[in-house]
Amino acid sequence: MVSTSKHRPKPLDVLNRALKSQVIVRIRGGREFRGILEGYDLHMNLVLSGADELNSDAPVRDFSGEILIRGDNVVYISPTVSREVEKGEDVSKSKSKSKEGGERERW
């Protein structure tokens, strides 16, 4: 049996860390939505606020309020990082190292 010392995050752990942050969700049929992940359940039903429907990374349609995406339609969920946060991480990357592997986990 092969054992690795690195901790691999579980899918629901990744979703939990993505709560209250921006995600991109692709559903069957090729449609993509970007919005703030407000909640989810074990069936992967998702609630997004401030959602936009995307077409080649450009907003096509803006939804006011919250939308519910049924979990059996979800192809993938991708947490996003804004450019401001990304730049801030570059500065703090050298200061905050994790105990395993020497680098912060990115997802």
* Helix ranges (DSSP H) in the chain: 11-18, 83-92
The CATH number of the domain covering residues in 11-92: 2.30.30.100
Contact partners, residue 40, CB within 8 Å, separation at least 6? 15, 19, 46, 47
Domain boundaries, the chain: 11-92
Q: pTM score, two decimals?
A: 0.67
In a structure prediction context, what are the per-residue pLDDT tens digits for the chain, which is 107 residues long?
555 557 888 888 999 999 999 999 999 999 999 999 999 999 999 999 999 999 877 778 888 889 999 999 999 999 987 544 445 554 444 444 434 444 444 44
**Mean model confidence pLDDT for the chain:** 79
- Please list, in sequence order, all residues whose beta carbon lies within 8 angstroms of the beta carbon of residue 12, skipping any fewer than 6 positions away: 42
Tell me the three state secondary structure of residue 66.
strand
> Which amino acid type is present at position 25?
V
pLDDT tens digit sequence for 12-39: 899 999 999 999 999 999 999 999 999 9
